[in-house]
Chain A
Amino acid sequence: MKKRLLTLLLALTLVVSATACGDKTAKQENKPAVEEKKDKPEEAKNDEKKEEEKKEDKAEATSTLASEKPLELSIFYFLHEPYKEDNAVMKKAAELTNVSLKGYISQSSSSNKEAFSLMAASGQLADIVCWDNNAIRELAQQGAFLALDELMEHAPHIKAFLDANPAIKNHVTAADGHIYTIPYIPDGDAAQGWYIRKDWLDKLGLKEPTNAQELHDVLLAFKEKDPNGNGKADEVPYFNRDGSPKTVFADFAQLWGAKEAWYAEDGKVKYGPYEPAYKEAYKNLADWYKEGLIDQEIYTRGRTARDVMLKENLGGMTHDWFASTSKYNSNEGMAEGFNFAVMLPPADVNGKSYERTVRSKLHWSGWGIAASNPDPVATMKYFDFFFTEEGRRLSNFGVEGETYTMVDGKPVFKDEILKNGDPVVNLRGFGCQMTIGVQQDFEYEKQLMNKDALAGVQQYVDKNVFGPQFPTLQYTEEENARMTELMTAIDTLKVETAQKWVLGSEEVESGYEGFKSAMEKFGIEEAIKIQQEAYDRYMKNLSK
């Protein structure tokens, strides 16, 4: 009996702790849930000035009108939550453009994917659909969405922007040459970087590692020399909360010149695991894992790894997002002298040092006009509004006086936005930072980042360590279906083999040939051919 009760209690505690470990998805990370207070922005409240500006707003308002008469359109929008009608930003936008938006889906919808599929299957689309560019493009082939390039004359700002940014234009141009969505465009350069316990380095008298060999020695020292000083060799030299076997070692692998995914070299598309460098990389990774330099639970620890490893003073190094990782330096209750510092990427075998990730300007989300939209021209003008300086500021910073004040001609967030809870959540409440067709302003994020994160980002940008990025390619329908089939099998093979190698249940040396021939059997050459054709098309469009 007692035992039973004990088990029940134990189970209950676990239930609680397990539910508490909420998952953060990678997509959310695109806009890091940012942190601690920035230096207190100076309260420069000049009421008269504000009044003047308001008047100016009114005067300009006539020029931003998208529609003569008030127009109400329905919108499908669901990123973190379904579209809320009474948000300050969209109300202000309605004031300025005469177009107001009404949410199309129920507030009780719980999954955006499901909500979109349901809407599509019903055949009744919202007037404006803000969703995955690819999905909209696919439905457009069935006649569900209007080609926006034909409406471009009504959107001079968008046109100018796309002409100035051919990569983005190319990203949203479908294989048939039309544009169906106005994309959301993230801003900023750096996304993720290397982090190391600077205080541990100092304690052991070590220098920041600059190449693979040095990195190995530093991690080994972390493992053996007890930098956290508790007398036990319980340190986990390298950890990563991205437990996904597809990408978890992508940062390490490039130290030996290997890639986990597609990349292009001199115009030729290559698949990382199919190249010889992959073998070399995994031979080393398997050794490192065996030596205990890599978290033995790296695949199973999950999203809370960073929290646990840092708070318990166990983890020595990781590769993660800037904003949220630097936060730990200003957290309370960390170990004495805790300093998790940004480190430049160690050089690879060829002596080149580069960072795998970069803040892509190409986001999956965007908005399009349904074929059933009652007034496409007004809608297009409305879209254009968000590409004016005013529209962009409105979407990024919110409404002046409510969320920010102008200081020296620059918007500065008010204290209550930054200091009460999560600033990003606060801003979303006002309707800021929606992933509609608008250009993000990195200035916004800078105001939410702490000193360390900003310095880290700056360091990466100054040294320009960002490696070349492989573009998102456009496929024809048949290509797409074939690629899914081929890559499901190949990816299964890849993650399975790579994990076996790392965990040591298969030797890299003896297993590699079999791995390669299995990939050939599964049709890797055909997949490369499809990729190459799509890539060539992409490059051709880009140079146009």
Chain B
Amino acid sequence: MKQNVKQKKQNYSVGNSTAVLTKPQKTDLVLWLSKGFKNVIKHWQLFAIMIPAILFYIFFMYRPMWGLQIAFKNFKIFAGIDKSPWVGFDHFVKFVESPYFWRNLKNTLLINFYGLIFGFPIPILLALMLNEVKHVRYKKLIQTLTYLPHFISIVVIAGIVVNFLSPSNGLINIMIEKLGGQKINFLVKPEYFRTIFISMNIWKEAGFNAIVYLAALSGIDPNLYEAAYVDGANKFKRILHVTIPGIMPTIIVLLVLKIGSMLSVGYEAIILLYQPATFETADVISTYVYRMGLENSRYDYAAAVGLFNAIVSVILVIFANKVSKKFSGTSLW
């Protein structure tokens, strides 16, 4: 009986094309499997198409996971993975016990949290606004200009930021001075770091991220707008009741994915922008680990930290997915 339930469940989750595969028949597993096998033969073309993708996952996603074991080993590069001795959870313990662990964790989470709060809605707003622009060429121009920064190397962007904020001849400080204010050395004040870092990221990525929403927007049925119009909805109401619900699934999916990467930050950008004086708010897990010893080729330790991040990320994604399913009905799986 149990199996039957399972089959039914599968039947729901799998799309139409494979419905034949799971047609609930007898409860016998063997029979079900042989039925499945027959299906493979029957639809072998479809399965053949899948082979490259499956191979890709096996060789490039699952096989490298074998190397994850170095997180539990004292990895010696020349001896190789197999011959390196096991050390259990040593690397994890060292990582958690390092004096700055909590500060680094807090900074990592806060930077991501604020990044999410301020950075996530902006591409949506941008996409909504672009969607309302009727002049096609103007729209295209703005779109291009806003996503251009995405293609500039982060090193250059950080250079621009440093130049802009320079206390002696930076644009921002010159403006502050002209307006009668006092010059501020932004990059050495911990209280400004998150703002600078997050604004930089928004400037760099907002336009590019908006593309996904624009694509989703173009998928909304124009009839809905017409219907809303006929019903007397004004522009704002149409956005609120037609556009936003229309792209809600996209928003949720992207949000859940974003939450999954809560523990990873673009540490190159941080390394380029931070100063010891701003460590208080800027030093994150990855920058600390970088200083600790990626330079000394401590792969085992780095792997342990990476694994730690991955596990936390998975937990966060599952949690976010659950919440979203409960409250909005849309979810990743």
Q: A233 at the A/B interface (Cβ < 8 Å)?
A: no
> Would B188 and A299 count as touching, CB distance under 8 A?
yes
A-facing mask of B281-310, CB < 8 A → 1, else 0?
Answer: 001000010011100111000000000000
Q: How many residues of B contact A (CB 8 A)?
A: 41
> Would B275 and A245 count as touching, CB distance under 8 A?
yes
> Would B297 and A117 count as touching, CB distance under 8 A?
yes
> Would A489 and B100 count as touching, CB distance under 8 A?
yes
Q: A25 at the A/B interface (Cβ < 8 Å)?
A: no
List B contacts of A492 (CB < 8 A): 100, 276, 279, 283, 288, 291
Q: A364 at the A/B interface (Cβ < 8 Å)?
A: no
Q: How far is the CA of A296 from the CA of B162 in the complex (A)?
A: 14
In the complex with contacts A492-B291, A503-B188, A505-B277, A123-B166 CB distance below 8 A: no
> Would A495 and B160 count as touching, CB distance under 8 A?
no
Q: B168 at the A/B interface (Cβ < 8 Å)?
A: yes
List B contacts of A299 (CB < 8 A): 188, 275, 277
List A contacts of B296 (CB < 8 A): 484
> Would B160 and A296 count as touching, CB distance under 8 A?
no
Q: How far is the CA of A314 from the CA of B141 in the complex (A)?
A: 43
Q: How far is the CA of A503 from the CA of B187 in the complex (A)?
A: 12
> Would A117 and B77 count as touching, CB distance under 8 A?
yes
> Would A296 and B288 count as touching, CB distance under 8 A?
no
List B contacts of A484 (CB < 8 A): 292-293, 296, 298
Q: A139 at the A/B interface (Cβ < 8 Å)?
A: yes
Pick out which of these stretches binds chain B: A12-20, A42-50, A417-425: A12-20
List B contacts of A499 (CB < 8 A): 188, 275-277
> Would A488 and B292 count as touching, CB distance under 8 A?
yes
List B contacts of A526 (CB < 8 A): none
List A contacts of B77 (CB < 8 A): 117, 120-121, 139
- How many residue pairs bridge A and B at CB < 8 Å? 100
Q: How far is the CA of A8 from the CA of B147 in the complex (A)?
A: 12
Within 8 A of A (CB), among B162-221: 162-164, 166-168, 185, 187-189
Q: How far is the CA of A4 from the CA of B168 in the complex (A)?
A: 25
Q: A57 at the A/B interface (Cβ < 8 Å)?
A: no
> Would B145 and A297 count as touching, CB distance under 8 A?
no
List A contacts of B187 (CB < 8 A): 300
Which A residue sits closest to B289, measured CB to CB? A488
In the complex with contacts A117-B77, A503-B277, A14-B163 CB distance below 8 A: yes
Which B residue sits closest to A4, measured CB to CB? B145
Within 8 A of A (CB), among B78-109: 78-80, 94, 98-100
In the complex with contacts A4-B145, A117-B297, A496-B276, A15-B152 CB distance below 8 A: yes
List B contacts of A18 (CB < 8 A): 156, 159-160, 163
> Would A139 and B168 count as touching, CB distance under 8 A?
no
Q: B139 at the A/B interface (Cβ < 8 Å)?
A: no
> Would B78 and A139 count as touching, CB distance under 8 A?
yes
Q: How far is the CA of A496 from the CA of B283 in the complex (A)?
A: 11
B-facing mask of A128-157, CB < 8 A → 1, else 0?
Answer: 000000010001001110000000000000
Q: Smallest distance from the beta carbon of A117 to chain B beta carbons, Å?
A: 6
In the complex with contacts A300-B275, A488-B288, A120-B163 CB distance below 8 A: no
Partner of B94, one of A15, A296, A485: A485
Sample of 6 further A-B pairs with CB below 8 A, known A300-B166, A489-B99:
A18-B156, A19-B156, A123-B78, A142-B76, A485-B292, A488-B293
Instruction: Give the 8 A-B residue pairs with the shortest CB-CB distance, closest first.
Output: A18-B159, A495-B276, A488-B292, A499-B276, A499-B277, A496-B276, A142-B78, A489-B99
9 A-B pairs within 8 Å (CB atoms) are namely: A4-B145, A15-B156, A18-B156, A297-B168, A300-B188, A300-B275, A484-B293, A488-B288, A493-B99
